[in-house]
Amino acid sequence: MEGKEVQSFALYGAERRGAPVVSFVRIDTETIEVRGYVNTPDVIIVLDASLMEMEEVGVINGKPDLGTVIINTKDKYIASNYYTVDATQIALDVIGKPIFNTAILGAFAKSTGIVSLKSACDAIQHDFSSMPQKIIDKNINACKKAYDLI
């Protein structure tokens, strides 16, 4: 929506339900030619706050220049670079299901400024275009609510 280049991929460890998954997204104004693991991310999004306590997962470990951290939690973390939002509860309240990806998108837009709220909402409208407008509107509202709560 803003003319940026995007690349994403996920790493799946153990092939079992409930195993932690690591995903990467690169966003740039120029062509992205590098591929692979992101060792020093500018932003870390933690969708399950219980992973913060699991040392073997290492959500934050080994990140010397830790940037922005966005955590889906009802708890508050005290750190200048941490942003918390209860995206799950927002999704339940607004969408009616614990599907919180659009709420996290709103939190990402607000806490980083990498994408604007308008572009995030336009992307939801575009990507969900095959769904009923009522569902699209709920997801846009979840995005906006998380944005406002950051």
CA dist 1 and 81 (Å) reads: 26
Average pLDDT over residues 16-25: 75
**Quick one: pLDDT at residue 63?**
57
Using alpha carbons, select from 129, 130, 122 the residue that is nearest to residue 105.
122
Average pLDDT over residues 129-142: 97
Structure tokens at 20: 């932690």
Which domains can be identified in the chain, with CATH numbers?
Answer: 5-149 (3.40.920.10)
Average pLDDT over residues 109-132: 97
Angle among Cα 68, 94, 97 to the nearest 5 degrees reads 90
From 59-63, 92-96, 100-104, 145-149, the region with the lowest mean pLDDT:
59-63
CA dist 97 and 72 (Å) reads: 15
Percent of the residues in the chain that have a pLDDT greater than 70, as a whole number: 86
CA dist 23 and 3 (Å) reads: 22
Residue position matching structure tokens 């569902």: 135
**Quick one: pLDDT at residue 15?**
59
**Quick one: pLDDT at residue 89?**
98
**Taking all residues of the chain, what is their mean pLDDT, rounded to a whole number?**
88
pLDDT in tens, 30-83: 999 988 888 788 898 999 888 777 655 566 655 556 788 899 999 887 788 889
Any alpha helices (H) in the chain, and if so which ranges? 87-94, 101-112, 117-127, 133-149
**Quick one: pLDDT at residue 36?**
82
